[in-house]
Amino acid sequence: MGFEELFERERRRYDDGVARGGDEQLVRVGNAAWGAGLSLLMLGRREEARAWLDRAASRWHESWEHATETSWGRPIGAIKAELIAGRGDEAAAYARWALELGTVEAESPIGRYAAALAFLALERWDEACEVTSGLVGREDFPPEVADALAAVATADAAAYRVAVGRVLLSFETRREYLEDVPVADTVIVLQALAGRRGVAAELSSPLLPGAG
């Protein structure tokens, strides 16, 4: 499927979920909005992509009320969506929400990942360093992502270049993507954060916007 077809598929999924209604549809429509947004981003339709990514973040935020206390994927997704959309204020708002949920004290690495993204989105570099250092070397968290986050926090351009390259490779060699939309979303997020620190890398891949 091309990205035009993927967008139409995700749009239909979103519309179907909205039509069904109910709290149980919120994550589903959030995921569909995410897939639609990423597809439009890859098509170069950035303003439309931003609107869909906004929807994704909003639906995931709404779904928290009906989630377990450790459903960290929701704040992670909301922060990532707004960083990809290039909406700094909105990303910061969701970052503050993520911290209010207690992600800093979370026992799981995914919770700590949410805290790391939040501190980086808020440009609270010292606190980001502390949280990201706790992710480095863990066997239950992707080492390349941990290294990239830590490199952004410390503004280590050389370390970041190596780590983000490994993250990109992990996307290029996988077979499964959220909503089956083949985009290296984590790399896009890392590049957005790295840009704020002046350490963004030169990258090219069919899984990144502007590839063709």
> Is 60 among the domain residues?
yes
Question: Domain for residue 208, yes or no?
Answer: no
Task: Flag whether 209 is in a domain.
Answer: no
**Structural domain contains residue 19:** yes
Among all chains, which residue has been given the structure tokens 């909503």? 179
DSSP for 112-159, please give it. HHHHHHHHHHTT-HHHHHHHHHTTTT-TTS-HHHHHHHHHHHHT-HHH
| Rounded CA separation 139/40 (Å) | 35
Helix H or strand E segment including 198 = none
Phi, psi of 43 (to 5 degrees): -85, 0
Q: Which DSSP category does 212 fall into? A: -
Amino acid, res. 123: E
Instruction: Tell me the C-alpha distance between 36 and 51, whole Å.
Output: 10
Asked if residue 120 is part of any domain, the answer here is yes
Q: Rounded distance, CA 19 to CA 25, Å?
A: 10
In 3D space, the residue among 124, 113, 56 whose CA is nearest the CA of residue 90 turns out to be 56
Mean pLDDT, the chain, whole residue set: 96
pTM for this one?
0.96
* pLDDT for 186: 98
Q: pLDDT > 70: what percent of the chain?
A: 99
Residue showing tokens 């909301």: 78
CATH classification of the domain holding 60: 1.25.40
In a domain, 211, yes or no: no
How far is 13 from 47, CA to CA, in rounded Å?
20
Domain count for the chain: 1
Residue 149: both structure tokens together: 């986050």
For the chain, the distance separating the N- and C-terminal CA atoms, rounded to the nearest angstrom, is 16
| Domain encompassing residue 96 | 3-197
Taking 50 as the pLDDT cut, the residues of the chain under it are none
For residue 42, the model assigns a pLDDT of: 98
In a domain, 106, yes or no: yes
Residue 161: inside a domain:
yes
